[in-house]
Structure 1
Amino acid sequence: MNAFEKLSAVHRGGVLVLAILTAATIVIWLLKKVKPQSNLEELVNRIKSWWVMAAVFFGAISLSKNISLLFFGLLSFWALKEYVTILKTRRADHWALLLAFLAVPVQFYWIHIGWYGMFLIFIPVYMFLFLPILLMLAQEPSGYLESSAKIQWGLIAFVYGLSHLGYLLKLPELSGRVVSGQALLLFLVIITEMNDVFQYLWGKTIGTHKILPKISPKKTWEGFVGGVLTTTVFSLLVKFLTPFNTRQVMLVAFILAVAGFCGDVVMSAIKRDVGIKDFSAVIPGHGGMLDRVDSLCYTAPIFFHMVAYFYFQGIIPLF
C-alpha cells in the first residue's frame, strides 16, 4: 500500500482536487506565456475563484458536523437570497418571504436532530400548504398565483434541494454503515462540478450544434454529450469515495451529469426570463453563488435518494 492509499478517502479526494487545480493553474500560466496577446482574464479569475471555493469547502467539511451543517445552511440562505433579489415582488409578499427565509434554519434543524421523515416533508408538504395561506391573508389577489409559485419554487430548489448536501453527512451516522458522509458529499460535488467543466471544455473546443439556443446559446450537443461521457469515465478516478462498484459508480455519474446539465439550463431559463446574465457578481469569473450551485440544486437530491435507496434502504429511521 502506497502513501496515497494510506490516506482517508476524503484526504485522497482533497489531493485529487489539489492536483486538478494545480494542473489548471499551470496550463493557464503556460498559455499566457505562449500567447500573451490572448484575453485569458476570465479563465484566470475562474481558477482563482476555484482555489478559494475549494479551500472554503474543504475547511467546512473537515470541521465538526455542526459547522458543516451551518455552512450548508448559509449556502442555502445565500442562494435563496440571490434568487429573491432578481424577482419582482409585491408588498403583500413580504411576510411570506420572511417565512421562506425562516424555513432555512428549520430545515437544517431537522438534519441536525436526524429527523429524516420531517426533513423529507417539511418544505414540500407543510411549507407548500401554509405559504399560500399566508399570502392569501394579505388580501391582494392581483399577482397571488405568480407570487406563490415563485416563492414555492425557490424554497424547493434552493432550500430543499441544497439541504440534501447536509443530510449526506448524516446518513452513515443514522444507519451504522461503514461509509464516510464527507466522502459521499465530496464525490457528489466533484462529479457535479467536473461535469460543468467538461461540458464547457468540449463545447468550447468542438461545439457547433446548439442544443437550446433561446435558453443557453453557448450550450451545444457536442459539449453535452462529451461532458456526460467524460464525467462518466472520470467517476472511476473518484470511485474510492463511494461504496459502489464500477458499474454502479459509472451509472450514478451518468445520471448526475445529465441532471447537472438540466439544473444549469433551468437556471439559465430563469435568468433569460428576468433579463440578466448572472445572478450576481460576487464570485469573480463565475457570477453569483447560484451560478455556481445551479447544477447542485438538481444533483444533490437525486444523488441523496439514489444512495439512500440503494445503499441505506430499510435502515434509515423516519421518526
Structure 2
Amino acid sequence: MLDLTPNTLCAMLVVVAMLVIASVTQLLLRSRLSADGYLELKQRINSWWVMVGVVFTALMIGPTASLIFFTILSFIALREFFSILPVRVTDRRLILALYLAVPLQYYWVGMGWYGMFIVFIPVYLFLLIPFGLLMLGETKGFIRAVGSYQWATMTTVFAISHVAYLLMLPAEENPAGGGVGLVIYLVFLTQFNDVAQYIWGKKFGNRKIVPAISPNKTWAGFLGGVATTTLFGALLAPWLTPLPWWLGLGAGLLIGLAGFIGDLTVSAVKRDLRIKDTSQLIPGHGGILDRIDSLMYTAPLFFHFLVYTTY
C-alpha cells in the first residue's frame, strides 16, 4: 500500500465531509428546485461520490492500483476523444495502434523512467503519427487528421499521466503528504477551481469573456475563481506538498489559470463539433473529457512547477 500520512488521511476525510454537506444541502433544496433541476443536482452529487470513492480506493490500495486506474482513465478519455472526432475510414487501423500508447506511457511512469516518459509522446509518437497516416495512402484531410490525433494523445494520455507520475516522486522529499498528497492537492484544487468559478459567476457575473465559445464564462467567475483557488493553494501547500505557502500561491494561481483555459478549450472543441457533452458516461457531468478538461492542462503545468521548484 502507499504510505498515507496523517495529512493525506485528513484531506480525504475533509473531501468526504464536503460531499456529506453537499448531499444534505441537496435534500434541503428539494422543495425549492424544479424537478429537472433537482434531478441534475442529485445526479451530479451522486456521481461525485462514485468518482471520489474510486480515486481514493485506488490511492489507498497502492501504486500499482493507482497506475492501473490512471491507465484506464486515459484509455477511456482517448477513446471518447476519438468517438467525437470526424475520423476518416482509412485511419481506423492507426487509431487502434494509438491505443497502445496508453499502456506504454504508463509503463514508463511505473518504471520511473522520466526521460522516456517526457519524450515518448511529444517526440516519438508525434513523428510516427504522420508517418503512419502516410503509409495508409490517403492525403485528403491529412493535416487535420495529424493535428487531431496528436492533440488527442497529448491531452488524454501525456497530460493525464503527469498525475500518476506524482506518485513516483521521492516520498522523502514530501514528508507532509507523500505522493498521494500531491495528487489530492492537484485534483482537489483543479475541481475546486471549476466550482469556485461557477459560483462566483452565478453570484456576480455579468460581463461575458468569450460568449461565442462558453456563454456562462464571466470575468467575475474567472477572477473570483482564480483568486479563491490561489488562496487555497497557499493554505494547502504546506499541508500536502513540499511547497511553502508563498510557492503555494504560485501553484494555486497556475492551477486556476490553467484550469480555466482547459475548460474553455474543450468547450471550443464541443462548439466546433456541435455537441453538448463528449458522452453520457457520468450522469450529471457528461463524459470523461467534460470532467478532466481542466486537469489535462493543470496536471503537466503543476508537475513541472513542483519539480523545478522542489525536487
Length-normalised TM-score, structure 2: 0.94
Note the alpha carbon deviations across 1:266-285, whole angstroms, 9 max, x for none.
Answer: 00000000010000011111
Counting only pairs closer than 5 Å after superposition, residues 64-103 of structure 1 correspond to structure 2 as 64-103=62-101
Q: Within 5 Å, which residues of 2 pair with 1:213-292?
A: 213-239=211-237, 240-292=239-291
- Specify the alignment match of 1:118 in structure 2: 116
Secondary structure of the corresponding residue to residue 92 of structure 2: helix
Which residue in the other structure is 1:317 paired with?
Answer: none
SS state of the match for residue 287, structure 1? Answer: coil
* Whole-angstrom CA distance in 2 between matches of 1:143 and 1:31: 50
What are the superposed Cα offsets for residues 164-188 of structure 1, whole Å, 9 maximum, x if unpaired?
Answer: 0110000125xx5244011001100
Percent identity between the two aligned chains: 45
Give the structure 2 partner of residue 306 of structure 1: 305
Q: Does 1:27 align with 2:25?
A: yes
Q: Secondary structure of the residue that 1:169 maps to in structure 2?
A: helix
* Aligned residue pair count: 304
User: What is aligned with 2:8?
Assistant: 10
Give the deviation of 1:60 after TM superposition.
Answer: 0.9
Q: What do the CA deviations read for 1:246-266 (whole angstroms, capped 9, x no partner)? A: 111122101101100000000
Secondary structure in structure 1 of the residue aligned to 2:277: coil
Q: Is the 8 A contact 1:169 1:185 kept in 2?
A: yes
State the 1:309 CA deviation. 0.8
Q: Tell me what 1:296 maps to.
A: 295
**Distance verdict in 2 for CA 1:276–1:132, change over 3 Å:** same
Note if contact 2:258-2:294 (Cα within 8 Å) is conserved in structure 1. Answer: yes
Amino acid of the structure 2 residue aligned with 1:211 = I
Contact 1:95-1:134 at 8 Å conserved across structures? no
Residue by residue, what CA displacement relative to the aligned partner does 1:287-311 show, whole Å, maximum 9, x if unpaired? 0011000000000000111111111
Please report the RMSD computed on the Cα atoms of aligned residues, expressed in angstroms: 1.5
Q: Which runs of 5+ in 1 are unaligned?
A: 1-5, 313-319
Q: Which ranges in structure 2 are unaligned for 5 or more consecutive residues?
A: none
From 130, 151, 157, the equivalent of 2:155 is 157
Seen in structure 2, the aligned counterparts of structure 1 residues 7 and 111 have a Cα distance that, compared at 3 Å, is closer
Task: Measure, in 1, the Cα distance between the counterparts of 2:218 and 2:39.
Answer: 23
Q: Is the 8 A contact 2:234 2:248 kept in 1?
A: yes
